[in-house]
Amino acid sequence: MSAALPQNPSRRSVLKGIGMAALAAGPLSACAFGSSDQPSTGGSTGEKSNTNPFGVVANAPLEIVIFKGGLGDAYATDVHEPLYKKAFPQAEIKHVPTQQIAQTLQPRFAGGNVPDMISNAGSDMMDNGALQSEGQLLDLSPLFAAPAIGGTGTVRDTLLPGVVEAGLIGDKPYLLKYIYTVYGLWYDSALFKAKGWEPAKDFAEFDALLGKIKAAGLQPYAYAGKNASYYQYWMIAISAAQIGGNQVLIDMDNLKEGVWTSDPVRKAAEAWASIGKKYLDPANEGLTHTEVQTAQNQGKIGFYPSGSWLENEQKEQTPAAFQYALAPTPSVTSSDKLPFGAVRAAAGESYIVPSKAKNSAGGLEYLRIMLSKDGARGFTEKTGNITVVKGAADGLKLSPGAQSSNDALNKAGDNIITYNLFEDWYKEFETELRSKTNALMFGRITADQFCKDVQAKADAVKADSSITKQNRTS
């Protein structure tokens, strides 16, 4: 979920645009997939076979929209699209890169003219829950049940555990979560080695280390308040899960009453608010992610919270001597349920196929190609990020950041903190959480007020009958 420009449409604004089309065309939710158990694809389909399980018409045009953020778009233009073209030489592929997904595509959904596959990511991503509730997303169950390319078994058999579940909305997989992302505190290991600094294991050590970094003339800790405040609420959620266990995040996703005012969340908010008070530069609230990240590459910032796409996103700005490394989030208390070294890691970055696409069969096949060994391996080579396909990166020489992420996963073992799905399910709530995170970190509200305000918003979303509710069990 790499950051983009700061347009953040609420769930209602997305629904407004989509709803106009619904009023004109009838209730989408009633006719999106037909009446069969397996969802129908939009547009024409040809003869189905083991090598063409969705019946892609060989000369049907294919339109792909790619969020061009931290991952760039070369993985699409240089790997996945050529693989599709090899399978269907007569097909014309239209490639659309953008950082403004919702701004670009909301009018098209409202007008019924949608692409065939979309990388729905960044801070201007569309609300997946709203799209699904309006019948605009194709159920990807046939994708995961289809034969794997170049192997035996199904596509699902080739994936890491939990990948299909990460894309559920309700009880069906409408999202392909493609990247296995690791989250934490990023730093320049070359700089730290030269200074004799070691990442901290708990917040007392973290405070002391940040003091040393500040004394050396650097900003000790920074994040971009203008468009990437969600990077910081991730850190609060990770700390809360360390204190109270992964059930805290499950309760957040399920809008459980009182979770945001619970002791683990309050303690996590207090710990991070103290870091903000002592070490954040107020000017960072008005900066974008690229501005802050580039300042770190210039040796001006110690720690920066992000996901493992960061290294690739900054490759053009990163000096040769800079060595990205990932530090796990420090423990908050001596009685944390999860040990130091626990990391948040999960399948991330959503790829979707619109149910009303002219060539949704082609969209499904494109995703199947992405999930092939060649498609996944090529993606890692282009982006430095590991995919959800088992063993696809085996034997590849990894970059320092990717290697550090892999090492952190190996050290974490079973102590993996799982994803916050409310980002996909309840965009209106997530947008409010960003605002409150900035208010907390830049000292405008206390940790208690943060917890009360966020819980109030979660309660309001839960009480809103117009919002489809989701449930996560693990």
Residue with tokens 């670009």: 104
Cβ atoms of residues 171 and 58 within 8 Å: no
pTM recorded for the entire structure: 0.73
Going by their DSSP bridges, the two strands 176-188 and 301-307 should be labelled as antiparallel
Phi, psi of 367 (to 5 degrees): -65, -35
Low-confidence ranges of the chain (pLDDT < 50): 1-39
What distances in angstroms separate CA 65 from CA 100, 193, 297, one per listed residue?
Answer: 11, 42, 30
pLDDT at 32: 31
Q: CA geometry: angle at 184 spanning 178 and 186, to 5°?
A: 105
Q: 182-345+421-463 belongs to which CATH class?
A: alpha beta
Taken as a whole, the chain contains a residue count of: 474
Cα-Cα-Cα-Cα torsion 162, 166, 168, 171, nearest 10 degrees, comes to: 40
CB-CB neighbours of 110 under 10 Å: 18
Cβ atoms of residues 188 and 411 within 8 Å: no
String of DSSP letters for 292-355: HHHHHHTT-EEEEEEETTHHHHTTTT--TT--EEEEPPPBSSTT-SSPTT-EEEEEEEEEE-BT
Token readout for 97 is: 């890169």
Q: Sign of the C-alpha dihedral, residues 424, 156, 400, 236? A: positive
Token readout for 353 is: 């196929």
> Where would I find the beta strands (DSSP E) of 110-150?
117-120
pLDDT at 15: 35
Cβ atoms of residues 355 and 138 within 8 Å: yes
**Domains 11-180+347-406 and 182-345+421-463 agree in fold:** yes
pLDDT at 42: 65
- Second CATH level (architecture) for the domain 11-180+347-406: 3-Layer(aba) Sandwich (3.40)
SS3 of 24, please? helix
- Ordered by start, the domain boundaries in the chain are 11-180+347-406, 182-345+421-463
Long-range contacts of 463-467 (CB under 8 A, 24+ apart): 467/11, 467/129, 467/426, 467/428
